[in-house]
Structure 1
Amino acid sequence: MSKPFERLPTHSKPVNYNLTLTPNLNDFTFKGEQVITVQVIEPTKTLVLNSAEIEIQSAKFNDASAEISFNTEEETVKFSFPSELPVGEGKLSMSFTGILNDRMKGFYRSKYTDSDGNEIRCAVTQFEPTDARRSLPCWDEPELKATFDVTLVVDKNLTAVSNMLEVSRTEVADGLVAVKFDRTPIMSTYLLAYVVGKFDYVEGRDADFIKMRVFTPIGKKDQGLFALEVAKKTLPFYRKFFNVAYPLPKLDLIAIPDFAAGAMENWGLVTYRETALLVDADNSSAATKEWVALVVGHELAHQWFGNLVTMKWWTDLWLNEGFASWIEYLCVDHCYPEFDIWTRFVQSDLSRALELDALENSHPIQVEVGNPSEIDEIFDAISYSKGASVIRMLHEWLGQDAFREGLTRYLKQNKFANASTENLWEALADASGQPVQFVMEGWTKQMGYPVISVASKPAEGDDSKLELTITQEKFQLGGANKSDLLWRVPIQVLTATGHKHQLMLAEKSDSFTVPKAAWVKLNPGCIGVYRVDYSASMLQDLIAALKHGQLSQRDRFNLENDLFALAAAGRVPIVQVLQLADAYKAEQFYTVWSDLLSNLGSVQVLADHLGLLDKWRAFLRQLCEPAYQRLGWDARPADGHDATLLRSVLIGCLGRAGHESVLAEAKAKFAKHCSGECPITPDLRACVYSTVLANGGVEEFEAVLKLLEKTDMQEEKVRILRCLGRARAPELRQRVLELAVSDKVRLQDTVFVIGGACHSLEARRAAWQFVKSRWSWFVEKFAGQFLLSRLVQLLCNDFCTAEDADDVDAFFKANPAPSAERNIKQALENTRLNVAILARDGDSVKEFLAQFAA
């Protein structure tokens, strides 16, 4: 276990940081001068700050020089003075130097190559959660807010940006200029940001005349236009929704060449991966536009929820991330209704949350943090996706008017300060008159969620009604349920006649009546954070409704998604769900198909272990064929956003499954694309690349590598890199793994290139052996970063034997990885669940697949 750490002493706190930094992009160093206005709360001879990887040359408090000592393990520096510091404000002055590291955290180096082949170097920041201390000595905790005056001394030809507007630019010696920025509002250190390098930008103003810029690598400024459009729509939407003005005079969004996360909400200077911000009118896919809109919407929501009002401690990280992960969809739905984005939410967020939270090694939304390494672990689907799903359920229960009023109260009461989950519940309760904390604390403080079992029978004495008996218990994927946890569950019930009924299930079991109808469905629209287990007769009624087209898109999704989970938990046979898949042949919507095929992928893992991949591919071909025939390869004038996404997922599935006509067409299009005769539309490139790689050899692999070398568009690079691992020949897979750790792949993409090479049991084991053999390299590059936990997830989640589990367990016992500790436990649990599923359902899966000709 990682060692707990102590919070900083509270006898002093910062008021203002006056910081001057001089980065040297030639030797990747920086030097700093800093004066911190300190509020001394009680007499003391010492000041303790956070500092890591910084050498401090001198420090004084007012006129008294300090003795400096470091605690490397705790990442602190202690300044000891000869006499007590008086209570009140004083000035702590210091000079220091540091290294621009290459680990994508703190103040670090980045670079890109421009269209002329020149290497452009940059210095950029990523401080969340605890890495501001790698750039300046500071009180690096979210509750210890201060204002910041930043000056960057840089080459006069470079762009320099920070949280606030530039207020002056003064020439100094040796071709350098001192760029001074306006004082920030009071804020947490993790939101401080500065970037130095060469960038282009596009500029505009929103409806409230806030200045907006989107910065891009040189030569790519047109790719920033879509994000600028999104931002111009989004910021006024949030201002109106929250009824609180955006408090800064400007908003910059900047694409960073090397960036570990998707984006970071630094106040007034939001940083992004290129793939999360840039859209090329000719070469970006519809999925990329959707993704950019969501990420911009997410980060701009943080300007209020996280930046204006900040959690007191990382235990309440979900207040930032869960809320932003919910409202990004509300915003995009308002700005781009054609995306049908709420249907995407049920797959991208609700489903992910339910999958992870069914494990014994999950965690509550509100989770105690015992060490900095544990903070990285909670940047996961529980904090983000379950948090968002719980907020969505709460919004539906309270109604939008009361919910908005509560948010406005919360923001106004806590602006420029810190708050807790309980503060949010109180504001929402005051606005709605509902017992919000009483209902919601079970959802945030308890791990897991309920499965609702429901059965129906004619109501006694009234033939026109049905009596429903509903029971809740904690849903668990493995073993018998020994939990006595209960939730207060807002439950909606929909009948075939269109009537909706709402109740609150607060006990283990309850009964109520509804008008008699051909079918009854719980959780219409997938609003509730729970699974539903129907009695056999109710399930058959719903399957009949599904086949007759009587269920909405989200309800069709909900039905198959819950059934796959119930099968994984051993509550229904897997073969029953495989048989149900046949009813989805008429399905016409992307999200339902995407989720169905994803869930079938978990069964493919079992088929692979049983040596039945050829028969499994035959099963997939007959399943997807009707929908593919309806859509075909070529876009039609009537196609909308959804049809564009669906075409890609169907062709990709059929191509990898060896569908003859799909494979022939993919090869033909690929040849014309490589020759330049007829480029493949961006929406189909990934599925064509993966098809030709999965069914080809060295020639196709080399052709795809040439495409990788030719493009300077990061979206296309990532698209190719994630497909390369589809090559089935062992020697080609090995080349992909070697490529992933070479300087030809950005460090931010390494993990996902390796993940792309884990498409079969044989490939997964090869990738795992490769990573083990290079483990010291991965630790050096990713230690203390969430990318290490992602690597564990992608590599180890889908093994199927006790031997594999024992191997993973033994390796990490010998090679501890504190920042991935929970993910290792989850991977082991998933492997052992797969072992149990194989023992339980393996023979029936064999029998089911026997009917399909390989």
Structure 2
Amino acid sequence: MTQSREALAMMDGTTVTFSKRQGYVLSRWGIALIAALFLTAIVATGLLVYKFASCTQNEHGGACAKDGVQNGRASVPVLPTEPGVAPPAAPSDAPKLDVRLPRAVKPDSYKIEIIPFIHEGNFTFSGKVSVVVNATEPTSNITLHFNDIKIYEDSVTVEEHESVADGSHRPAEGKHILVDRLSNDTARQFFIIHLGQPLSEGKQYRVSMSYLGHLNDMLQGFYRSSYIVNNQTRWIAATQFQPTDARRAFPCFDEPALKAKFQISIARPRNMTSVSNMPQERESEQMKDLPDYTWDHYGQSVPMSTYLVAFVVSDFDHMSDGNFSVWARHEAIQQAEYSLNIGPKILHYYEQYFGIPFPLPKMDMIALPDFAAGAMENWGLITYRYVAEERSELGVSTNSNKQSVATVVSHELAHQWFGNLVTPSWWTDLWLNEGFASYVEYLGVNAVEPSWKILEQFVIFDLQNVFALDALESSHQISIEVGHPDEINEIFDRISYGKGASIIRMMDHFLTTEVFKKGVTKYLNSRKFGSSTQNDLWEALTSQAHVDKVLDSSMSVKEIMDTWTLQTGFPVVIITRDYNTGTVHLKQERFLLRHKTENSTTASPPEGEGSTLWWIPITFTSVDNPDFNKTQPLFWMKATPTLTLPPLSAAPDQWVIFNVQETGFYRANYDLTNWRLLIEYLMDRDHFSQIGIINRAQLLDDALNLARAGLLDYATALDVTRYLANELEYLPWKAALNALAYIDSMLIKTGNYDKFKIYLLGLLENLYKHTGFTDNPNDPQLTVYKRVNILSWACSLGHEDCVRNSVLQFQNWRSSPDPDRSNPISANLKNVVYCTAISVGGQDEWDFAWQRYRKTNVGSEKDILLGALGCSRETWILSRYLDRAVSEKSGIRKQDAARVFAAVASNSVGQPLAYSFLRNKWFRVHEYLGSSLFTISNIVRSCTKRINSPFELSDLMQFASVHHHELGAATRAMEQSLEQAGANVKWMESNYEPIVKWLANVTAVAAS
């Protein structure tokens, strides 16, 4: 699954249950009856008035109610113990709940029939599932997962099955197994069938049942979505099952290792279409009981995990290139053309890269109006947010949007092998899925768009981006034990994605790409259509590394990589040169943003973590013979606290740089002499470009973050930034601005912010003149990015020419006769122009942009406007905007609520408003957004990241304490926010005055 690029690391997993008014007592034919009554408008409500009751025994054998008996047997749904109420939180000292299924039976194949009723006011679906299971040991219980669905007790049957010559199964005559009773374990989401006789080891059985579900609006399980055409609402039904929501659509063995084959039949309205993982196996057929509905029958799939099952019912159009198709709304189908152009090419590239043909007969990609994550890698049916697949070629979408579409498509296609063909045995190794796809996506995009230099961009967008999160004590291991769905949801974050990708990139470099690819192919072939752990990958890579002699026979990939996946955090390597002998002393310790302790030069490690050590590949180069291409390690720090290198060739007056191309996942800190040598060289405008672009970006990012952590004085770190006045490359500037943004956010509400503004505007001036305000469509990708970043900062800092240009262009747009059809603003500059004009404008500018947001059907344009609308300086406008983000029918989709909060919170005026809204209207926000996988977590992070005063911190601590039981999957996000806020407070206490003093000195020197 791809996390949304607009709101990376956007998760709350609280259980949504039916209210009592949604339950009905029905016979096994009740589902068809509802549908027939609804579709023919023959409403006979008296037939549906039964007394509601649950007729299942509990785990302790309690008797069930006998209301609603039909043919001598109760015919009611199996429901959670108390509908609408989440189970009470367990005490903190309670034993951890084991949510893993018993292994006495394992699924072999599923047959699923499902009928969604996509009508406003109904939104139900009926289903029937038959699962052939293998008994691996004698057992009298069959346990499946279910959640938020109602299983009809009288439909539950178990019968022995036998294989026939063609490999299929059929009932063994007279071998029905008595179902003694049924029960459910709400806390673990288990549905348990208690049998009158034990199953026999080695035999197969078919378990069948019918059920009723609800097409929810929480973007999980089988859910409903809608869009507007000519003021009419069009409804669709779609799925999102990862990680644990297949059980919301059909009872199943909902664990990734329990793979099975799936044969799906979907009933759809005749004026709509359906699509699923596999192609249709035969012609559609009209339903006998519902003449307005048609059955679509899909072929049996390859063995796969439940979370990869997918189906969508919609009225979308599609375009195809051979067996590769894209689907989108009729009015947006042309916007998906770029996805169709690159998709087959990337798929072919991966077939070559992995050395394994794509295992399925077709590939569909569909852009959904409502989707919680960025995209989902369902096997053969990838689902996207419509902004992630659709892009306009008509000057509406930006270069960054085009790159976002390409990376998301590439990411999900990479999953077809790494995640789908071979799946982690349990969510502990989620990072194997997401980290690998997050790295390989760059390779896929580079294969189709080489001019973008996207492999260089990795350092900025993934590696340096995740450093900030992993530098917190509340970070977590890449490979981490998880159980409850809330815990699983928590780890869909930048650690699993960005850090996972970064350490895989590190492996690619220290093994060499050729050896790495061979090892990955060996791993995939050995585990295909099955599951694995990270140790299986380590074994394959080690085997290949030994064959090709890139690792000594005494070393293993497991020994190296376990230090990166089984430990929290990452190291800083402290490099001290002996300028007399030429030797270099290396010391490693965990890098933490937590402020240094008093009278200490380094941050002390948390209790119990003093021995945290990593295997670190050491690469370096020096000014006498600079080589910024060789990334194979020259030495290894083999999980030792110190290492002394032999004398270097660099003279005492020459710099050295460690971590070439920043391929190692660590920060490098030098003695002050080497820092001064680097600063002097960077300030030489004729020679600084001899240092590789990626390593210039690394020096800036490392220096400013080492200072933030108290490991380097800010005077030295800020001195590194002074050379930027002559820097014209995108990557160093982007790294610097990302790091300087923290200082900006800390100082912006202080009386000395003007000094920081003056310094930054001085650095920016040369590049501002060089890039200009005019967007040239023929400019290279990184030139476009550079211009957008510089203009964004210049305008936000009040650069007169930048602000004037933005306001003029926005007013020209407002003055056009038809602003929805004619927009003179270049797509790439829209972020800058919209935000600046709204910031310096008032209600008229905001309302104009709001109307454009409501009327456009281009996803990327909507996203730009959502961000820009948060730029207003009017507090009442921002408060109204936040209110609309959590209001039905405001025009803002639930999936975009976090985007609104982030936009407002990134505004210095809006941040306290966003946090106050979250705090004061928590129950409204939580109830409205429910258990959306990412949204609540992202809102918590964005609303709190600028907190830097003791009073604000105290208030946040109280808020977290009061609501800790309701945070669900956002618990870790709140812990990280509390730690970050505490670090911000300490940072202000220690660094505010030294930075102001440095800025005053630099300003005075410049003025003289």
Please give the range of the TM-score, normalised by the shorter of the 2 chains: over 0.9
Residue 485 (structure 1) aligns with:
612
Residues 134-193 of structure 1 deviation map (CA, whole Å, 9 limit, x = unaligned)? 000001001111100000011111110000001221112322110000101001100000
Counterparts of 1:332-731 in structure 2, within 5 Å, are: 332-433=445-546, 434=551, 435-458=556-579, 460=581, 466-478=582-594, 479=596, 480-482=603-605, 483-496=610-623, 497-499=625-627, 502-506=634-638, 507-511=640-644, 512-516=646-650, 518-547=654-683, 548=687, 549-636=689-776, 639-676=779-816, 679-731=824-876
The amino acid across from 1:527 in the alignment is T
The question of whether the paired residues in 2 share the 8 Å contact of 1:60 and 1:94 is answered with yes
CA distance in structure 2 between the partners assigned to 1:729 and 1:105 by the alignment: 36
The farther-off stretch of 415-424 and 672-681 is 672-681
Aligned-residue offset at 1:692 = 1.0
Please show how residues 165-244 of structure 1 align to structure 2 within 5 Å: 165-168=279-282, 169-173=284-288, 174-205=291-322, 211-244=323-356
Contact 1:54 1:99 in 2 (8 A): yes
Q: In structure 1, what is the Cα distance between the partners aligned to 2:750 and 2:824? A: 40
Q: Which residue of 2 aligns with 1:208?
A: none
Distance in 2 (CA, whole Å) between partners of 1:710 and 1:786 is: 27
Provide the residue aligned with 1:159 in structure 2.
273
- How far is the alpha carbon of 1:64 from its aligned partner? 4.2
How many angstroms apart in 2 are the aligned matches of 1:532 and 1:828?
27
> Greater CA radius of gyration, 1 or 2?
2
Task: Give TM-score scaled by structure 1 length.
Answer: 0.96
Kindly tell me: are residues 850 and 707 of structure 1, through their superposed partners in 2, closer, same or farther at Cα, counting changes over 3 Å? farther
- Evaluate the alpha carbon distance shift between residue 762 and residue 403 of structure 1 in structure 2; reply closer, same or farther with a 3 A threshold: same
Q: Which segment is superposed worse, 320-329 or 82-91?
A: 82-91
**TM-aligned CA deviation for residue 44 of structure 1:** 2.3
Please state how far the C-alpha of 1:514 moved relative to its aligned partner.
2.2
Partner of residue 46, structure 1:
141
Indicate the residue corresponding to 2:402 in structure 1.
289
Structure 2 contact 617–664 (Cα < 8 Å) conserved: yes
Secondary structure of the corresponding residue to residue 647 of structure 2 = strand
Structure 2 distance, partners of 1:787, 1:738, is 16
Could you list the per-position Cα deviations for residues 818-854 of structure 1 after superposition, in whole angstroms to 9, with x for gaps in the alignment? 2111111111111111111111111122334447699
Deviation for aligned residue 1:695: 1.7
- Give the distance between the partners of 2:317 and 2:726, measured in 1 at CA: 48
1:244-284 deviation line (CA, Å, top 9, x unaligned): 11100001111011000000000000000011111110211
1:123-134 aligned at under 5 Å gives the runs: 123-134=237-248
Give 3-state SS (helix, strand or coil) of 1:220's partner. Answer: helix
Q: Does 1:261 align with 2:341?
A: no
Let me know the Cα RMSD of the aligned residues: 1.8
| Counterpart for residue 34 of structure 1 | 129
> 2-side partners of 1:729 and 1:849: how far apart?
30
Q: Which moved more, 1:73-82 or 1:345-354?
A: 73-82
- The answer on whether the counterparts of 1:674 and 1:707 sit within 8 Å (CA) in structure 2 is no
1:800 paired residue among 927, 930, 948:
948
C-alpha distance in 2 between matches for 1:710 and 1:849: 46
Distance in 2 (alpha carbons) for counterparts of 1:613 and 1:717: 33
Answer whether contact 2:226 2:370 (CA < 8 A) is retained: yes
Point out the more displaced range, 811-820 or 260-269.
811-820
Indicate conservation of the 8 Å contact 2:332/2:858, yes or no.
no
Q: Which moved more, 1:267-276 or 1:651-660?
A: 651-660
Task: Report matched runs for 1:814-829 at 5 Å.
Answer: 814-816=962-964, 817-829=967-979
Aligned to 2:188: 74
Question: How far apart, CA to CA, are the structure 1 residues paired with 2:178 and 2:368?
Answer: 39
Question: How much has 1:415 moved relative to structure 2?
Answer: 0.3
Per-residue CA distance 1:11-57 (angstroms, 9 max, x = gap)? 11111110000000011100001111111222222211100011011
Cα shift at 1:474: 1.3
Report the Cα offset of residue 678 of structure 1. 5.3
Give the counterpart letter for 1:740 in structure 2: A
Find the residue that maps to 1:17 and give its secondary structure.
Answer: strand
SS in 2 for 1:581: helix
Q: Which residue identity lines up with residue 28 of structure 1 in the other structure?
A: F
Tell me by how many angstroms 1:777 deviates: 2.6
Secondary structure, aligned partner of 1:521 = strand
Shift of 1:590: 2.6
Q: CA deviation at 1:230?
A: 1.5
Deviates more, 1:526-535 or 1:677-686: 677-686
Q: Which deviates further from its counterpart, 596-605 or 539-548?
A: 539-548
3-state SS, counterpart of residue 187 of structure 1: coil
**2:215–2:223 Cα contact (<8 Å) kept:** yes
Instruction: Give CA deviations for 1:577-625 in whole Å, capped at 9, x if unaligned.
Output: 3343221122223332223222111101221242334443333322212
Q: Provide TM-score, normalisation by structure 2.
A: 0.82
| 1:434-492 C-alpha deviation (Å, 9 max, x unpaired) | 321111110111111111111223464xxxxx322211111112143232211110011
Q: Which residue does the alignment assign to 2:100?
A: 7
Secondary structure in 1 aligned to 2:905? Answer: coil
Residue 838 of structure 1 corresponds to which residue in structure 2? 988
Partner letter of residue 149 of structure 1?
Answer: Q
What is the alpha-carbon distance in structure 2 between the residues aligned to residue 661 and residue 762 of structure 1? 23
Give SS of 1:166's match: coil
Deviation at 1:636, TM superposition (A): 4.3
Q: Given that residues 725 and 762 in structure 2 are in contact (C-alpha distance below 8 angstroms), is that contact kept between their aligned partners in structure 1?
A: no
**8 Å CA contact retained: 1:376, 1:784:** no
Contact 1:605 1:760 in 2 (8 A): no
The equivalent of 1:768 in structure 2 is: 915
1:674: Cα distance to partner? 2.4
AA of the residue aligned to 1:493: F
**What SS does structure 2 have at the residue aligned with 1:16?**
strand
> 2: distance between equivalents of 1:802 and 1:15?
58
Q: 1:759 aligns with which of 877, 893, 906?
A: 906
Amino acid corresponding to residue 502 of structure 1 in structure 2:
L
Structure with the greater relative contact order (CA < 8 A, sep ≥ 6): 1 or 2? 2
Q: 1:326 corresponds to which residue?
A: 439
| Aligned residue number for residue 463 of structure 1 | none
Which amino acid counterpart does residue 490 of structure 1 have in structure 2? P
User: Aligned partner of 2:227: which letter?
Assistant: Y
Amino acid across the alignment from 1:516: A
Measure how far apart 1:725 and its partner are: 1.2
> When the two structures are aligned, how many residues end up with a matched partner?
843
Distance 1:710 1:35 in 2: 45
Question: Per-residue CA shift, 1:90-113, capped at 9, x if unaligned?
Answer: 111111000001100000000111
8 A Cα contact 2:326 2:336, kept in partner: yes
Deviation of the 1:739 alpha carbon = 2.0
Instruction: Write the distance in 1 (CA, Å) between the matches of 2:139 and 2:775.
Output: 72
The corresponding residue for 2:41 is none
CA shift at 1:420, angstroms? 0.5
Between 240-249 and 580-589, report the one with greater CA deviation: 580-589
Q: Which amino acid counterpart does residue 505 of structure 2 have in structure 1? A: R
Give the stretch that moved more between structures: 617-626 or 412-421.
Answer: 617-626
The secondary structure found in structure 1 opposite 2:604 is coil
Distance verdict in 2 for CA 1:636–1:160, change over 3 Å? closer
Moved over 4 A (4+): 849-854
Q: Do the aligned partners of 2:100 and 2:483 also contact (CA within 8 Å) in 1?
A: no
